[in-house]
A = this chain, B = another copy of it.
Amino acid sequence: MANFGGHAIPGTFFLLYGLWLAVKHTLRHRWRKGKTPGRPKAPTFLRKMEYVEGGFMMFAAFVGIMVEQFVVDGPHARLYSSGAWVKLMNWQHSTMYLFFGIAGFANVTSLIKSMPLGIDRMSISLALFVEGFLFYYHLHNRPLLDAHVHTLLLVPVFVGSANAMLQVFLRDNIILELSLACLFFLQGSWFYQIGCVLFPLSGPKWDLMLHNNVMFTTMCFCWHIAMALLIISIVALLVCSIVKRVSGESRNVELGMRNTTNSSQKALLDDTDED
């Protein structure tokens, strides 16, 4: 959908998915590190959220496909008509959504015990690969700046695909997991930037053939990387500190008055050993 909204909607989804991944993986990391008998509830909550995540991805993919097909100027499920392909752009977007739907389905089925570990990451990797693959062959015959901002989009897409593929083999590596969150966030914010560049809401139009604009967008992409790093780091730190407070409180409540002094001393130690 060639307008600002058509870039802002997927952008919003990717931004939120990046934030959610950061929250989820930070929680899982905390839980992995502090597997104490005092907080056994986290994994149940996390398992339920996986179902919600997978279900939401399937739902969003379905809605996305429907919208792409049945918007006013969409193909209305016709692929070939009177000797020509109908609205291939919409069909391509539908195909991308399909693979994110498959990823959502794999996310849910990966919770079944007898399923092999890692099919969730494999399917996310595939969804990103297909997205990048279709975008890559999307770019022929476009003006310089248009092609360039879409080429830059391929960086978070393909690096994200490689990252998710690596997670199939290197599970539970918090650096890989937060990097993937960053890459999704970056992709989302870059979608907004593309919308701003190609369909500016206000101000003058960008000159799509000016080389200086290409140089600026390249640099601007790096600023987006820095911003994604910053925001994902803040989210991870916030989640950590909330978990620490909540789990501290619940432990205190649980353990009662018996060993409060003991526990708070331990909490002090937890803080001071961060050296």
Residue from B102, B118, B212 within 8 A of A226 (CB atoms) = B102
Q: A229 to B102, Cβ gap below 8 A?
A: yes
Q: Which of A88-96, A193-201, A260-268 contacts B (4 or more CB under 8 A)?
A: A88-96
- Supposing A218-B133, A218-B134 touch, asked if A226 and B98 sit within 8 A by C-beta, the answer is yes
Q: A170 to B170, Cβ gap below 8 A?
A: no
Q: B226 to A140, Cβ gap below 8 A?
A: no
Query: Is A168 interfacial (CB-CB < 8 Å)?
Result: yes
- Supposing A122-B175, A122-B179 touch, asked if A112 and B274 sit within 8 A by C-beta, the answer is yes
Query: Is A215 interfacial (CB-CB < 8 Å)?
Result: yes
Q: Inside 8 A of A173's CB, which chain B residues have their CB? A: 169
Q: Inside 8 A of A60's CB, which chain B residues have their CB? A: none
- Supposing A170-B169, A175-B168 touch, asked if A112 and B219 sit within 8 A by C-beta, the answer is no
Instruction: Count contacts on A: residues with CB < 8 A to the other chain.
Output: 52
- Supposing A170-B169, A274-B113 touch, asked if A222 and B29 sit within 8 A by C-beta, the answer is no
Q: Give CA–CA (A147, B275) in the complex, Å.
A: 46
Query: Is A174 interfacial (CB-CB < 8 Å)?
Result: yes
Query: Is A223 interfacial (CB-CB < 8 Å)?
Result: yes
Residue from B113, B133, B140, B211 within 8 A of A275 (CB atoms) = B113
Q: Give CA–CA (A214, B92) in the complex, Å.
A: 12
Q: A113 to B273, Cβ gap below 8 A?
A: yes
Q: Inside 8 A of A170's CB, which chain B residues have their CB? A: 169
Query: Is A190 interfacial (CB-CB < 8 Å)?
Result: no
Query: Is A259 interfacial (CB-CB < 8 Å)?
Result: no
Q: Inside 8 A of A240's CB, which chain B residues have their CB? A: 114
Which 6 residue pairs of A and B lie closest in terms of their CB atoms, listed nearest first?
A137-B218, A116-B174, A113-B274, A88-B215, A112-B274, A95-B222
Chain A contacts to B: CB under 8 angstroms: 29, 84-85, 88, 91-92, 95, 98-99, 102, 111-114, 116-119, 122, 126, 130, 133-134, 137-138, 140-141, 155, 168-170, 173-175, 179, 211-216, 218-219, 222-223, 225-226, 229, 240, 273-275
